[in-house]
Structure 1
Amino acid sequence: MRTRPLRFAALAATASLVFTACSGSGGDGKAEVTLWMYPVIKDEAASKKYWAQTESAFEKANPDIDLSIELQTFDKRDAQISAALAAGSGPDIVLITPDQAATYHKVRGLLPVGDAVDDQRKAFFPETLKAATLDDELYGVPLFQNINTTAYNTKIFADAGLELPRTWDDVRKAAPVLAKKGIAVMDYSGSPEQTLNMSFYPLLWQAAGTVFTDDGKDIAFDSDAGVSALQFLVDLKKMKGLPVDAATEGPAVEGAPIAAGKVALRPVTSLPELAQMRAALGEENVSLGAPLQGEVRATYGNPGLLSLTSINEEENREAAYKVLAHLSSPKAQESLNAAAGNFPTRTDVKAPGRGPDFEVLNAALKDANPGEPSPAARQVMAILAPYIQAALGGDLSPKEALKKAAEESRALLARS
């Protein structure tokens, strides 16, 4: 087994774990490629069957490559991948998120993958490629993505004689009308357990703002756009347009005001959450719409990336590229999305279902923001979340809250 330690202390601390998977050429002369796959398909038995068939079909089409797809769990994924990279022994290819890609790239744990899909770049949604682009190089091939959009309790709006709100202005106008009926116009989950990708950041993007500057070296959420987004939330709170406990409310649908008919719309809703709303409110009373529009229309859609690790040997590089190209091809994406219920990262692949819901979700892909890749993304979220709570609680103005959060976040970036 080859063990080529990388020169970075942060990952080396966990390198005591032992991994048996490694790249190279087998005794029969075949190129060996190892892929670590995580539970994209929730049903364990179905997942094992699907990936075994995928491995077999690939090897049949590429008899000179020995592909090993090893199924892992999400538990301690970061520690597991970090240890493998530090030891120089583990997968050639790994499924990761954009912020993980930024972290592993920073410590030289990833290799560029542009050559694997250069002739297919125009087929991918631009934002999915952007999520995997670091220092002008592609460090992950988008395999699938999740998508969220606006869900409406249509009965509430119909009973109030209101059109379904499509813009921030529409939401503001509907808020006082519904408040008189004891109903909040919009749901919001301000609890720290909820990722800001599913709460504040979509509003920030709709205001045409960003979390970080384009080069990722500075904070940008304290801009006029950021203040506008937080002011939108604070104004709604004052108009009783948000749930009373919006600052501390968790992301759950079941047992929450949205499921009790006390909230009219949920601005960031996944397909499983839509099903929960319909179970609580009635199939006929819930519908999906496009993401809300402020200055622009935007929502959160997170791609899963197949990244090539620094463990991959040069003599096996072309074999790894073939695996990446195969798994991200239209046929393979369509098959995986059908099995997993995810959405495509390519414009030439259809949504994994039919009907109005899938039409809306598929259309929302063009407005999807995958989050801004940064090694400090999660730490910045942890800093910003309580300041948003403070603004919603009236302890700080939106401008003051974002200024204080930005100061702490810039100090974090300077340390890292």
Structure 2
Amino acid sequence: MFTRKLHRPAALAAAVVTATALALTACGGPSSSSSDAGPANGKVTLWMYPVIKDETASKKFWQDTEAAFEKANPGIDLTIELQTFDKRDAQISAALAAGSGPDVVLITPDQAATYRNVRGLLPVDDAVSKDKNSFYPNTLDAAAFDEQLFGVPLFQNINTTAYNTKIFKDAGLELPKTWDDLRAAAPVLAKQGVAVMDYAGSPEQTLNLSFYPLLWQAGGKVFSDDAKDIAFDSAEGESALQLLVDLKKAGGLPIDAATDGPKVEGAPIATGKAAMRATTSLPELKQMRAALGAENVALGEPLTGKDQATYGNPGLLALTSINKKENRQAAYTVMDYLSSAASQKALNAAAGNLPTREDAAVLGDDADSKAMAAALKAANPGESSPVARQVMGALAPNIQAALRGDLTPKEALAKAATEARGILQRAAR
């Protein structure tokens, strides 16, 4: 019924997949789980989120996947329920608290840390035991806590820089690759009424795709190495926020950068009012090319400040505490099937993501694939702290305040850090 830095960059570079690299194929996978318990039976509910941006295509893909799975596993009744990203954390938390929700849910590594911390997730090592060596180690590391796995890596999201090349060419500018390049280009383009860089400062945009990449490029961190303290209120953090403030003052960010949302459609980058976006996924790249013309958009490497860095992490299929022991084998089978090489190839073709398994990789020689290969080497999976999302909630409005000019970068980060340290202290009790 359908209702951390990467460990093996050379191998990962070969994993680049673009949305056009594969034709959409029927999902395939093993008909039994990875353990020796025999055929599984039962009902499994999966909450899936908009991995495939096109709503119609997403609905058809998961309908077909559900049907193919049940044909291969006649003893299991799989229900894939499509959800929205809006209020996802609250929705999942409420389901776990009520004990009525999905057996399996798609989450991020920081969410895995959060829900595991409140005993909302169960380990899934048995779901990947047979194929564990096929997964890229970094994707498993992102879901590992205390030597147990709390998520099966389904796909990788990697983001990098996308340019409106026509704007830079018409202005006689090289494509910015460093912070210094950004600062130099900003006043030149501002005279033409164009912001050098699009930026989504709205709290609905995760800081993993807005401020954090700049923090990492400055050489900074969100948390201390032992994760017991906040580290963004540092010289590196101030440098990253000062860059945004300086660009805003120079006309280098859109006028509404403090409140703009993450959507490409209608955004300054899609209307020619911004010249580049520093964190762009392959599906977003496709939207930019549709709006601006394919010949006017190019993908490049992540920006470099002190370091080169971007955000990229795996989407994880997690087993919730709602799942019952008698239904465990069926849930393992679902996760095994969906994360198989054949299923990943089909999903990546439809969604424009990257694989988490070596045997699902396709090497691309095109410019986009080469740019994504470089991005893989500089990808940071974000923070896997159980309070990572709460800390974002403390930091985001203070970044907005700095962009509005209400606080200096130092004041904004200090205020956010005080609130974030309170979050850490309460969590430690």
TM-score by length of 1: 0.80
1:297 matched to which residue of 2? Answer: 308
1:399 matched to which residue of 2? Answer: 410
1:263 aligned counterpart, secondary structure? coil
Query: What do the CA deviations read for 1:97-136 (whole angstroms, capped 9, x no partner)?
Result: 3333222211112122234435655544444334322344
One-letter identity of the residue aligned with 1:50: T
CA distance in 1, matches of 2:68, 2:365: 25
Give the one of 372, 389, 397 matched to 1:378.
389
Q: Which moved more, 1:317-326 or 1:90-99?
A: 317-326
How far did residue 287 of structure 1 move? 0.9
2:165 matched to which residue of 1? Answer: 154
- For this pair of structures, how many residues does the alignment match? 384
1:331 matched to which residue of 2? Answer: 342
Over the matched positions of the two proteins, sequence identity in percent amounts to 66
CA distance in 1, matches of 2:332, 2:414: 45
Show the 5 A alignment for 1:223-234: 223-234=234-245
1:202 aligned counterpart, secondary structure? helix
Query: What do the CA deviations read for 1:26-72 (whole angstroms, capped 9, x no partner)?
Result: xx995436241414454323321222112322x27xxxx63534434
CA gap 1:76/1:402 in 2 versus in 1, 3 angstroms: closer
CA distance in 1, matches of 2:207, 2:77: 37
Give the one of 394, 411, 414 matched to 2:422.
411
CA distance in 1, matches of 2:39, 2:362: 40
* Aligned residues of 1:133 and 1:139 also touching (Cα < 8 A): yes
One-letter identity of the residue aligned with 1:111: L
1:32 matched to which residue of 2? Answer: 42
CA distance in 1, matches of 2:176, 2:380: 21
> Which has the higher relative contact order, 1 or 2, with Cα contacts under 8 A spaced 6 or more apart?
2
Give the one of 71, 74, 77 matched to 1:56.
71
How far did residue 214 of structure 1 move? 3.9
* Aligned residues of 2:394 and 2:420 also touching (Cα < 8 A): yes
How far did residue 169 of structure 1 move? 2.4
1:68 matched to which residue of 2? Answer: 78
1:200 to 2:211 alignment: yes
Query: What do the CA deviations read for 1:230-267 (whole angstroms, capped 9, x no partner)?
Result: 12212222333222332233334344433343322111
* Aligned residues of 1:100 and 1:375 also touching (Cα < 8 A): yes
* Aligned residues of 2:401 and 2:407 also touching (Cα < 8 A): yes
* Aligned residues of 1:140 and 1:308 also touching (Cα < 8 A): yes
Unmatched 5+ residue regions in structure 2?
1-37
How far did residue 288 of structure 1 move? 0.9
How far did residue 153 of structure 1 move? 1.2
Q: Which moved more, 1:142-151 or 1:302-311?
A: 302-311
CA distance in 2, matches of 1:368, 1:142: 16
Query: What do the CA deviations read for 1:348-383 (whole angstroms, capped 9, x no partner)?
Result: 423699853344335523433333123333332222
Q: Which moved more, 1:275-284 or 1:395-404?
A: 275-284
Give the one of 194, 208, 220 matched to 1:209.
220
CA distance in 2, matches of 1:219, 1:171: 28
One-letter identity of the residue aligned with 1:399: K
Give the one of 90, 107, 124 matched to 2:118.
107
Show the 5 A alignment for 1:134-153: 134-153=145-164
> What is the root-mean-square deviation of aligned Cα atoms in Å?
3.1
1:166 matched to which residue of 2? Answer: 177
* Aligned residues of 1:254 and 1:276 also touching (Cα < 8 A): yes
Give the one of 107, 126, 144 matched to 1:96.
107
1:239 matched to which residue of 2? Answer: 250
2:407 aligned counterpart, secondary structure? coil
How far did residue 387 of structure 1 move? 1.4
* Aligned residues of 1:337 and 1:343 also touching (Cα < 8 A): yes
How far did residue 184 of structure 1 move? 2.4
* Aligned residues of 2:161 and 2:302 also touching (Cα < 8 A): yes
CA gap 1:76/1:148 in 2 versus in 1, 3 angstroms: closer
CA distance in 2, matches of 1:253, 1:84: 31
How far did residue 386 of structure 1 move? 2.0
CA distance in 2, matches of 1:70, 1:284: 38
* Aligned residues of 1:188 and 1:246 also touching (Cα < 8 A): yes
CA distance in 1, matches of 2:92, 2:204: 24
Q: Which moved more, 1:188-197 or 1:69-78?
A: 69-78
CA distance in 1, matches of 2:157, 2:332: 24
2:158 aligned counterpart, secondary structure? coil
How far did residue 301 of structure 1 move? 2.7
Q: Which moved more, 1:191-200 or 1:86-95?
A: 86-95
* Aligned residues of 1:342 and 1:352 also touching (Cα < 8 A): no
How far did residue 190 of structure 1 move? 1.8
How far did residue 142 of structure 1 move? 1.0
CA distance in 2, matches of 1:374, 1:397: 27
State the structure with more CA Rg: 1
2:378 matched to which residue of 1? Answer: 367
